[in-house]
Amino acid sequence: MSLKTKPCRMQQPAIASLVRELRSTMQLSQEKFADELGMTFATINRWENGHATPSPLALKQIETLLNQLSQSADATLRQRSQTLQGKYFPNRELNA
């Protein structure tokens, strides 16, 4: 019996919206957001435009970033990230 959690499965429009909304919340360009995740600008651009889907590892990185932001000292950033967590990862427990 495995204790691993199943990778999050999202439809492409939801992924594109998640990436765009998270990037906007962080007030980052696609290039800066790519740097934050260790990706390329082209990868982030393809995700946002629906031409590619993040790997399970990349989705985990995004979820981890949201978890970190949900504990931010900045109340606005914290609230927005918690809203995104609830919207895109509804079956996950918030770490706040």
Q: pLDDT over 70 for what percent of the chain? A: 82
Could you tell me if residue 67 is inside a domain? yes
Could you tell me if residue 94 is inside a domain? no
- pLDDT, position 89: 87
Residue 2 — very low, low, confident or very high, per pLDDT cuts 50/70/90? very low
**Predicted structure pTM score:** 0.80
CATH code of residue 72:
1.10.260
At 50-87, the pLDDT tens digits run 999 999 999 999 999 999 999 999 999 999 999 999 99
Query: How is 16-74 classified by DSSP, letter by letter?
Result: HHHHHHHHHHTT--HHHHHHHHT--HHHHHHHHTTS----HHHHHHHHHHHHHHTT-SS
Count of domains forming the chain: 1
Domain around 34: 12-88
Could you tell me if residue 17 is inside a domain? yes
* Mean pLDDT for the chain overall: 87
